[in-house]
Structure 1
Amino acid sequence: MGKVYFVGAGSGDPELLTLKGKRVLESADVIIYDRLVHPVLLYLAKDSARFIYSGKYPKNHVLKQKNINQLLVEVGQRDQIVVRLKGGDPGIFGRVGEEISTLQSEGIRYEIVPGVTAASAASSYSGIPLTHREYSSKLTLATAHRQADESIDFKGLTANGTICLYMGVEKVKSTQQKLLEQEVSPQLPVAIVEWGSLGRQRTITATIQTMVGTIEEHQVQNPALIILGEVVSCRKGADWFEQLPLFGHKILLLDTEKIDFETILAYTQQGADVYAIQVGEHRDQRFDEVHQWYLSDHSFDEVVYLDEELTRMYKNQWDVLNEQIN
């Protein structure tokens, strides 16, 4: 019988994948990956690995959770290594508990490989420490999507503390109402970090009083993390990540050969938002579906041809994409 590894891909920046996660990913026979996983990590897979997309969109799940559970049983019962690749950390709002229970009921072996969760990544890449000797001695990770009878002690948790709200944008109005009802200071600093640790990251600061209007004004969408607490005041404008030379650049790499993972990292290390596509009749066709869904979600401003022949073949830099992946 095989084994299922629940691997945390980290949050955004592909270099946040752990060494153990990288080793397991490189040995996988089947990789079941989520929407919030940066798909350039699939370039680490061996040539024979099978890719299965289980991406979830709000109110539109490609695979429903029960189908994912059944899929894990089916592939886990075979003599192969299966990686369930999840964004962030599998054990933090990743529903890994449900998937583990399914495997346990079938006697299927598994391991969990932790990852860098969004709270750590988004705050660090925005210059906000989650704890601080002067401002915060405790940290709470919470989701805005709570059970009907569930409540959070916002007053107590923000007193010399920090709260990180996952998936909080859609519920921001009700969250603000509960904060004010509990007499949390309307002037308590708030940061909203969209697409944390990627080159498209946006960090917007506000207060409890202004957070709803700020999110609406800037049209913030998930994935976004809301940080509540005095630690937000530590951010003094654009911080280290946002000062990297290629931050904000959305770059698409194209080559007729398989693109080396280290080549991709050469751009992300400078702050760029990067995606890479191999094109041509000898391309790895496993990635065709990966490219289609990713490009339907994201746009790019610059194209870098890693093969000079592509420059001569295509007068319009986007023609190659239309021909190869549509």
Structure 2
Amino acid sequence: MSRTGKVCLIGAGPGDPELLTLRALRMLQEADAVVYDRLVSPEILALAPDTARRLFVGKAPKHHPVPQDEINALLAELALNGYSVARLKGGDPLIFGRGSEEAAHLTSLGIPVEYAPGITAAQGAAAATGVPLTHRGLASGVRYVTGHRQADGVLDLDWASLADPDTTLVVYMGVANIAQIAMCLMAEGLPGSTPVMAIANATTPRETRLFSSLERIAPDTCAANLSAPVLFVIGRVVKLCADWPAVEFLSSEETETRTVIARAAHA
């Protein structure tokens, strides 16, 4: 190949192939090479052409076999060799996906970059569970935050602003730090009885939902041994899920917190 190819930054969504956009599906099916992350579901990867090269560059907590600089170089090499590259990322490539870093590297080399937005995990979880991210009288806003820092740095979030009972808080990649997150939010005044849903593998046949309260979510998450990816939804809107316990959570001083685990029945 002598021509310069291109790289399509494609949001694969939370896992259900029916949640792909038509644009994302077209880009994927036109690809000569697919560079994909750990969170891309096998159902979506199966939609790539049989003739396309498949290159796995996934990362896991504290395990990055292919560093970001090498991923950037790989994408550039493929495109400069004339490939149409599908850079497939779970969720949306521009929400905690480092897509903008890859795009900046590629455009600096004169390589064309196109985007296909994806349904981010928070939206997928909301649709799968019926937990709205906003709801009149319960949540007038929603905030997405990352639950970890690069190289396991200090999680220095603005806890005072996040501990707002009128806002739904969605925490990505927060399993390792959920105890600290809950403690900091309660220290800033968010009640320990605040409902929390942890959802693993949202929208896929492997989906698992854990319902708890802010003061109990850390030990409950540990006991449930949820498999990644896990998303936490913190706020009063969680009570609107049909799986929410019939008996409301009370503080630990009044009664033992009741935890419910529900496994979704996706076809």
* TM-score bin (small chain): 0.7 to 0.9
Q: Which residue in the other structure is 1:60 paired with?
A: 63
Number of the residue aligned with 1:17: 20
Are 2:122 and 1:116 aligned?
Answer: no
Q: 1:233 aligns with which of 239, 257, 267?
A: 239
Deviation at 1:14, TM superposition (A): 1.5
Counterpart of 1:152 in structure 2 is 158
Matched, 1:211 2:217: yes
Match of 2:32 in 1: 29
Greater percentage in helix: 1
Residue 140 of structure 1 contacts residue 157 of structure 1 at CA under 8 Å; is this kept in 2? Answer: no
Q: CA deviation at 1:153?
A: 3.4
**Secondary structure class of the residue paired with 2:46:** helix
TM-superposed CA distance for 1:149, in Å, is 7.2
Aligned residues: 244
The code of the aligned residue for 2:74 comes to: L
Conserved 8 A contact 2:134-2:142: yes
Gaps of 5+ in 2: 245-261
Q: Do the aligned partners of 1:169 and 1:221 also contact (CA within 8 Å) in 2?
A: no
Distance 1:157-1:181 versus aligned 2 partners, 3 A rule: closer
Structure with higher RCO (Cα < 8 A, 6+ apart): 2
**TM-score, structure 2 length as denominator?**
0.86
Q: Deviations over 1:182-212 (max 9, x none)?
A: 1111111111111111112111111111111
CA deviations on 1:52-76 (whole Å, 9 max, x unpaired) are 1112122222311111011011011
Q: Distance in 1 between matches of 2:36 and 2:161?
A: 38
Provide the residue aligned with 1:175 in structure 2.
181
Counterpart of 1:95 in structure 2 is 98
- Whether contact under 8 Å (2:79, 2:85) holds in the other structure is yes
Q: Is the 8 A contact 1:155 1:183 kept in 2?
A: no
Structure label with greater radius of gyration = 1
What is the aligned counterpart of 2:141 among 113, 138, 141? Answer: 138
Measure how far apart 1:40 and its partner are.
Answer: 2.7
SS at match of 2:129: coil
Please, what TM-score do these two structures have when normalized by structure 1?
0.71
Once residues 47 and 143 of structure 1 are traced to their aligned partners in structure 2, the CA distance between those partners, rounded to angstroms, is 35
Aligned partner of residue 78 in structure 2, secondary structure:
helix
Deviations 1:146-169 (A, max 9, x none): 453732235555331101000111
CA distance in 1, matches of 2:263, 2:74: 43
1:172 partner amino acid: I
Shift of 1:12: 1.4
Distance 1:132 1:15, change over 3 A: same
